[in-house]
């Protein structure tokens, strides 16, 4: 009998295929069931699996049939608006679920995830891969090891020019087109907020208290469509509610402040811009700099620029998985973070762990920022209370590894 972990992959668009790059190479897993609404996507995915030397998977356009077909885990890589219904069905059936990222417009949906998990105790993993990326891993390890002192402020962003993906939805059915037409909010907060929350021990002794969001006007998509012949005529009448830049400030119970930025419809470079400022120094992802207040700090830009790239000097703080990673694992998706995340998922399933490193409480509180930012913007950028989805248990919940790094294994003590 095939002893490999049987994966049911639901959603075979860009991300489903990206995840497949990794899973097909991971020897102790098998994609045994696949699901999408489009038959050509099902056929392409089946071909990739068979070409990899694996048996043809069970194919269906009904995710309930994947949940019922005897898989060990379902991975949900569908559009944002149906993640929760799939995850609830899987948890209710006792099938562990790994759910892709995205914000939620509904606080009720976030509560539904938490309530279902607490009722069923079915393992739930939120696939926030940026928590596993090398930069975020280094920043977290620097904090855990006290290098930056006590953290006071974190900022992060999702800056990604997605104009062609959004407009292209008219041909690809990509969900972002409808999202940008109908909502104005921070629709994708978790890539930056996930790592920041781990750094600040959110849900594990700390929590978000309130937020304020503000949006710019919306011009980027209109301008892009007008100047892009393949869309100019077909999309000319569409109005977009989504502002081009949305900023959100979050206050934490332990006194830290977080600033997030969503910037996806103007020409710009990709950047997550993680910055962690503590009493002894700061980490800045955009310049790959670690700057400590020990004589090397100078606030003049010409002197600061000498610190660009200085994070290499701190490689000893990297978790062991980032030191042992192979070129093949790096190439399999997003520079290696996807491989490390999936390895954690599959290892947790093999050892039948009930608690996942990124759990349902993390998912609920990070996803809820979308709905709360929408509310704040609608109310003229008024402060909005954040929600404690742990119902007070965050005071007892401990970081998974109090030594250093809560979600990447790191055995070596750093002196």
**Closest separation in Å from C-beta 128 to ligand NAD:** 7
Residue 36 or 321 with smaller CB distance to ligand NAD: 36
**Closest separation in Å from C-beta 399 to ligand NAD:** 23
Which of 339, 341, 334 lies closest to 358, judged by CA? 341
Max CA pair span of the chain: 65
Residue 291 or 364 with smaller CB distance to ligand NAD: 364
Residue 58 or 63 with smaller CB distance to ligand NAD: 63
Residue 78 or 215 with smaller CB distance to ligand NAD: 78
**Closest separation in Å from C-beta 1 to ligand NAD:** 29
Whether 77 and 333 have beta carbons less than 8 Å apart is answered as no
Residue 151: strand pairing partners: 278
Residue 343 or 404 with smaller CB distance to ligand NAD: 343
Structure-token match 């020409």, residue found: 267
Residue 129 or 264 with smaller CB distance to ligand NAD: 129
Helix H or strand E encompassing 210: strand 208-215
Structure tokens that stand for 384 in this block: 């909005």
Which of 23, 10, 96 lies closest to 61, judged by CA? 10
**Closest separation in Å from C-beta 32 to ligand NAD:** 17
Q: How far apart are CA 253 and CA 357, in angstroms?
A: 22
Q: How far apart are CA 155 and CA 144, in angstroms?
A: 18
Structure tokens that stand for 79 in this block: 């559009």
Residue 130 or 252 with smaller CB distance to ligand NAD: 130
**Closest separation in Å from C-beta 271 to ligand NAD:** 15
Whether 103 and 260 have beta carbons less than 8 Å apart is answered as no
**Closest separation in Å from C-beta 34 to ligand NAD:** 10
**Closest separation in Å from C-beta 162 to ligand NAD:** 10
Ramachandran quadrant class, 308 (left: phi over 0; alpha: psi -120 to 50; beta: rest)? beta
Structure tokens that stand for 327 in this block: 């070129």
For residue 255, what is the DSSP state? Answer: S
Q: How far apart are CA 377 and CA 370, in angstroms?
A: 11
Residue 187 or 390 with smaller CB distance to ligand NAD: 187
Residue nearest to ligand NAD (CB): 13
**Closest separation in Å from C-beta 362 to ligand NAD:** 14
Crossing angle of helices 190-199 and 360-378, rounded to 10°: 120
**Closest separation in Å from C-beta 103 to ligand NAD:** 9
Residue 86 or 290 with smaller CB distance to ligand NAD: 86
Strands (E), 136-180: 151-159
Q: How far apart are CA 237 and CA 100, in angstroms?
A: 32
Where do contacts with ligand NAD occur on this chain (CB under 6 A)?
10-16, 35-38, 41, 63, 77-80, 82, 100-102, 127, 129, 174-175, 334
Helix H or strand E encompassing 331: helix 327-331
For residue 15, what is the DSSP state? Answer: H
Structure tokens that stand for 284 in this block: 């800045």
Residue 148 or 159 with smaller CB distance to ligand NAD: 159
**Closest separation in Å from C-beta 64 to ligand NAD:** 10
Neighbouring CB atoms inside 10 A of 321's CB total 20
């Amino acid at each position: 009998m095939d002893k490999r972990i049987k994966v049911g992959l639901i959603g075979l668009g860009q991300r489903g295929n990206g995840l497949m790059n990794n899973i097909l190479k991971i020897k102790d897993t098998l994609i045994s069931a696949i699901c999408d609404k489009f038959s050509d996507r099902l056929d392409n995915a089946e071909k990739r699996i068979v070409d990899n030397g694996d048996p043809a998977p069970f194919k269906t356009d009904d995710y309930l049939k994947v949940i019922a077909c005897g898989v060990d885990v379902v991975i949900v890589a569908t559009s944002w608006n149906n993640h929760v219904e799939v995850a609830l069905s899987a948890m209710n059936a006792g099938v562990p679920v790994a759910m892709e990222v995205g914000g939620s417009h509904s606080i009720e949906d976030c509560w539904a995830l938490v309530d279902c998990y607490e009722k069923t105790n079915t393992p739930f993993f939120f696939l926030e891969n940026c928590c596993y990326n090398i930069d975020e891993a280094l920043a977290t390890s620097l904090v855990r090891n006290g290098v930056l002192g006590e953290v006071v402020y974190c900022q992060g962003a999702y800056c990604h020019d997605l104009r062609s993906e959004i407009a292209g939805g008219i041909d690809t059915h990509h969900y972002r087109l409808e999202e940008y037409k109908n909502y104005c909010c921070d629709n994708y907060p978790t890539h930056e907020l996930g790592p920041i929350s781990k750094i600040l021990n959110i849900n594990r002794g700390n929590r978000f208290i309130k937020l304020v969001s503000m949006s710019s006007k919306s011009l980027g998509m209109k301008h892009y469509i007008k100047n892009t012949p393949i869309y100019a005529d077909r999309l000319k009448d569409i109005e977009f509610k989504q502002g081009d830049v949305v900023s959100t400030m979050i206050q934490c119970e332990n006194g830290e402040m977080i600033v997030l930025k969503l910037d996806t419809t103007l020409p710009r470079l990709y950047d997550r811009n993680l910055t962690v400022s503590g009493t002894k120094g700061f980490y800045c992802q955009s310049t790959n700099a670690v700057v400590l207040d020990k004589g090397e700090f100078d606030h003049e830009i010409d002197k600061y620029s000498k610190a660009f790239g200085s994070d290499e000097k701190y490689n000893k703080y990297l978790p062991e998985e980032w030191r042992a990673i192979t070129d093949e694992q790096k190439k399999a998706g997003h520079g290696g973070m996807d491989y490390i995340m999936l390895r954690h998922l599959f290892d947790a399933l093999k050892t039948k762990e009930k608690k996942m490193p990124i759990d349902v409480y993390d998912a609920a509180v990070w996803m809820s920022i979308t709905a709360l930012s929408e509310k704040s913007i609608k109310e003229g950028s008024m402060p909005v209370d954040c929600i404690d989805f742990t119902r007070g248990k965050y005071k007892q919940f401990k970081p998974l590894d109090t030594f250093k790094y809560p979600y990447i294994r790191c055995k070596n003590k750093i002196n």
